[in-house]
Amino acid sequence: MIRSYAATAKKSILTPFEFTLPPLTDVDVVIAVKYCALCHSDIHLIDGDWGIAKYPLVPGHEIIGQIVQIGNKVAGFSEGQWVGVGWQSGSCGQCAPCTHGMEHLCVTGKKRTCVNGFGGLSEKVVIDSRFVYAIPDGFELISAAPLMCAGLTVFSPLERLLLSDVQRVGVIGIGGLGHLAVQMAKAMGAEVYAFDSVSEKAKSAEVLGAIPLHDPKSAPPMNLILSTSSAQLDWNFWMERLDFNGVFCLVGYPPGDVAVANDHLLDGQKSITGSVIGSPATMRHMLQFCLRHSIRPHIETMPFSRVNEALDRVRAGKVNFRMVLENDWK
């Protein structure tokens, strides 16, 4: 039996839970989990916010571990190899996005690590090897964990939307995602501005290379604004912060719908888009990019056995950017 920590009902605390691993298919690998970071999506799943969670639910989708078993048709992985797993654990492979290398947009068979199976707060996970990523040599394993979801989520839109290295990028919300976005945009050559309603958080982005702005009104026109915030946003205020042709991209999920004055879209030729995780190819690119530019998440660590305390810290917004849990089962 595999030991894990699970929520047994909506909003419950996590309690020890044992399960049998699903059978290994030809394309799967079994990973012995070493680290699993906590993401806000785990809390949304535990709390049943999105209506997609099934209980018992084993959260965790920023997983780092070692391959201990390999399916018959798995290519490119070996036993003992250190790998990572993120939010997505499968796709149909046949729809238009899948056949265009955009598996994260799969329309008919998207699988999520801790929704369609048991997640990373367990001893072992079984994952389709097409959604398993080799951790490059020289990368500290513990630092790779938050890149699996938070890192990919901000790298993917920066890679797609940052069109030149002389652009100005604004990052709204300097937390687990935002502090990585600042480092990545900076490494891509952009001038980066950090906005956070908590001034210490905006200030902390200064050491990461951003210009902290508690009052965004003083910002010069931005070419790209990336919002990692899930708070209510004043859409027109932020559209006014964009330069002509500027793009506002949502990666956080604020309440309600987007509504902006038509003039921003017409006269300023500005646009609004969104982004959710990223493709397997982007994940591999992101890991190499972070290795080359020495981009690392700022983390706190706790053992798996203190997961409820760790979740409380995440809920309270007290974590120093990202909480990574370490497997402490004997």
The least CB distance from residue 279 to Zn ion, in Å, is 11
Alpha-carbon separation of residue 37 from 4, 146, 324 (angstroms): 14, 6, 4
The least CB distance from residue 122 to Zn ion, in Å, is 17
Interface ranges with Zn ion (CB under 5 A): 39, 41, 91-92, 95, 98, 106, 149
The least CB distance from residue 276 to Zn ion, in Å, is 10
The least CB distance from residue 156 to Zn ion, in Å, is 13
250, two tokens: 């949502």
Say how far apart CA 309 and CA 300 lie, in whole Å: 12
The least CB distance from residue 262 to Zn ion, in Å, is 34
DSSP code at position 212: E
Q: Which is nearer to Zn ion, 111 or 203 (CB)?
A: 111
Q: Which is nearer to Zn ion, 31 or 213 (CB)?
A: 31
Q: Around Cβ 307, how many Cβ atoms within 10 Å? A: 22
Say how far apart CA 328 and CA 330 lie, in whole Å: 6
Alpha helices in 100-177 (DSSP H): 141-144, 150-161
Q: What are phi and psi of 200, to 5 degrees?
A: -65, -35
Which position has the token pair 């497997």? 327
Say how far apart CA 121 and CA 324 lie, in whole Å: 11
Q: Which is nearer to Zn ion, 213 or 314 (CB)?
A: 314
Residues 6+ apart with CB under 8 A from 285: 155, 159
Q: Which is nearer to Zn ion, 150 or 242 (CB)?
A: 150
Q: Which is nearer to Zn ion, 41 or 156 (CB)?
A: 41
Q: Which is nearer to Zn ion, 239 or 250 (CB)?
A: 250
The least CB distance from residue 130 to Zn ion, in Å, is 12
